[in-house]
Every structure is written in structure tokens, then in C-alpha cells.
């Protein structure tokens, strides 16, 4: 089955200001974030990317712009609202330092499955919509591009953490144990039996994820070891 490369957007103006951006319009990459996005094509060089998918928010689309410019064979990213940031409701646009004083903050950190943002969505709902989205895209890309295809989804930190938690079989309450830096790449290979986490929050070179000759793909060693119990 295809390999999903989850790219967290580069550092944004809200990240550097310590603001919870959510779906606030007009939140762009800052100078560091633009440099991170500019480095992404080299990090993914040699990987035969079949498709780009993105959260509709500006900071994610901006992160993919250099990659799209370097790969004119790739179509424009498909926007999918299900990969958008959590709807934080009344928390949107507030400083993180201020939100950390709210009673709900500890619930978000320690018992995420019980956390629902006032006027927004719950983290359970975030997990369900994002996991459904990547699994549906994965099935479609397998049909359109074959089982060894690699595809990129540009999205947000909490989204990636929820998808990783699902892939690892972790309860959502543990998703805050997962950390993904801006413009990091997390790779998950889905198989008929289970997903395999190949990279988590990787900020370096990713050439080893290229499909191997004779139909062997990135993660095959992990799959074989996992199935036989030798890993």
C-alpha cells in the first residue's frame, strides 16, 4: 500500500508569536518558515511523489509552493478541509501563555479524548475526520498510482499527532507524547494488516524512503520483521 508523507507546515507568524492560530485567515509562514519550505524540495529529492494534498489553510499551501515549483509534473495540491487545523472555537487567536491558565488546558494535555473546545470541536472529532481523510486518500492513490506510490499531505501539528496515534494503536489520551516540529516529515506506510511508522518528525534527508527495485518499497523490512516477529 502507498506511503504517506505528512508534512507539518513551516513555522508561521502565529507560531513565532505564541498564538493559537486555528483557522484564523491570513496566518502566513514567517521568515524561518519560508526557509524551511524552500529546503523541502531538496529533502524530498529522488522520491517519486504521486500526489500532493493539503489543508486549505495558507500556511500549509505556502509550505508546498517550493515543492510544487520544483516538480512541474505534479498537479496542484488537492485541498481537503478534513486535514485542516482543529477548530479551537473561543480559544482561537489567544496567546498560548494565557490558555495554559485555563482549566481545560490540563484536560487537553492529560486526557485529550475528553477535551472539547468551547464553540469548537473535540479532539475526538479531529482524530476521526483526519484519520478517515488519510485512509480514504491512501486507498484512492493505491488505485490511481499503484501500491508503491508515495504521496504528500501538508497539514498541522495536532492533526499529524492524531494520525500517528491511530497508526501506532495509541489511545488518543497519549497523543501529546508525540512531537512534530515545523516542516518536519512523518512517514506512514499503510498495509492490509496494519500501518507502519517509518519516520516521525524527521527534519533531515528522506531519500531512504524511495521505493526499492523489484517492487520492494520503503518499510518492507519493517513489515517482514513485524510479521515474523524477528524485528
What three-state secondary structure class fits 51? strand
pLDDT at residue 229, as a whole number? 37
Q: Is the pLDDT confidence value at 98 over 80?
A: yes
pLDDT at residue 211, as a whole number? 78
Give the H or E element holding residue 93. Answer: none
pLDDT at residue 209, as a whole number? 78
- Least Cα distance to 220 among 186, 191, 185 occurs for 191
pLDDT digits (tens, 9 = 90+) for 41-77: 999 998 999 999 999 999 999 999 999 999 999 999 9
Q: Is the pLDDT confidence value at 222 over 70?
A: no
Question: In terms of C-beta density within 10 A (0-12 exposed, 13-18 middle, 19 or more buried), how is residue 145 classed?
Answer: middle
Give the H or E element holding residue 210. Answer: none
Q: What is the pTM of this model?
A: 0.89
What residue spans of the chain are helical by DSSP H? Answer: 13-17, 31-43, 58-70, 96-99, 103-110, 123-145, 157-167, 220-228
| Mean predicted confidence (pLDDT) in 107-125 | 97
CB of 157 closer than 8 Å to CB of 176:
no
pLDDT digits (tens, 9 = 90+) for 10-51: 999 999 999 999 999 999 999 999 999 999 999 999 899 999
Quote the DSSP letter at residue 199: E
CB of 40 closer than 8 Å to CB of 205:
no
Half-sphere exposure in the Cβ direction for 74 (13 Å, CA): 22
| Mean predicted confidence (pLDDT) in 148-172 | 97
End-to-end CA distance of the chain: give it in Å, rounded: 20
* Residue 219: band (very low, low, confident or very high) from pLDDT cuts 50, 70, 90: very low
Greater model confidence, 158 or 208: 158
Quote the DSSP letter at residue 154: E
pLDDT digits (tens, 9 = 90+) for 47-57: 999 999 999 99
Q: Is the pLDDT confidence value at 225 over 50?
A: no
Amino acid at each position: 500500500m502507498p506511503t504517506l508523507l505528512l508534512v507539518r507546515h513551516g513555522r508561521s507568524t502565529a507560531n513565532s508569536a505564541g498564538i493559537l492560530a486555528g483557522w484564523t485567515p491570513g496566518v502566513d509562514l514567517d521568515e524561518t518558515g519560508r526557509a524551511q519550505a524552500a529546503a523541502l524540495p531538496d529533502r524530498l529529492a529522488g522520491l517519486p511523489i504521486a500526489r500532493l494534498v493539503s489543508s486549505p489553510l495558507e500556511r500549509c499551501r505556502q509550505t508546498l509552493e517550493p515543492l510544487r515549483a520544483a516538480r512541474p509534473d505534479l498537479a496542484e495540491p488537492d485541498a481537503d478541509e478534513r486535514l485542516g487545523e482543529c477548530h479551537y472555537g473561543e480559544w482561537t487567536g489567544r496567546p498560548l501563555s494565557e490558555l495554559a491558565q485555563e482549566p481545560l488546558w490540563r484536560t487537553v494535555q492529560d486526557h485529550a479524548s475528553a477535551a472539547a473546545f468551547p464553540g469548537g470541536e473535540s479532539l475526538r472529532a479531529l482524530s476521526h475526520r483526519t484519520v478517515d481523510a488519510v485512509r480514504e486518500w491512501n486507498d484512492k492513490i493505491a488505485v490511481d498510482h499503484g501500491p508503491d506510490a508515495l504521496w504528500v499531505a501538508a497539514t498541522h501539528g495536532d492533526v499529524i499527532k492524531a494520525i500517528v496515534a491511530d497508526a501506532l494503536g495509541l489511545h488518543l489520551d497519549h497523543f501529546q507524547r508525540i512531537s512534530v516540529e515545523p516542516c518536519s516529515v512523518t512517514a506512514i506506510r499503510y498495509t492490509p494488516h496494519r500501518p507502519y511508522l517509518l519516520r516521525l518528525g524527521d527534519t533531515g534527508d528522506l531519500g531512504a524512503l524511495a521505493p526499492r527495485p523489484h517492487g520492494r518499497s520503503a518499510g518492507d523490512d519493517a513489515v517482514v520483521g513485524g510479521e515474523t516477529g524477528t524485528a
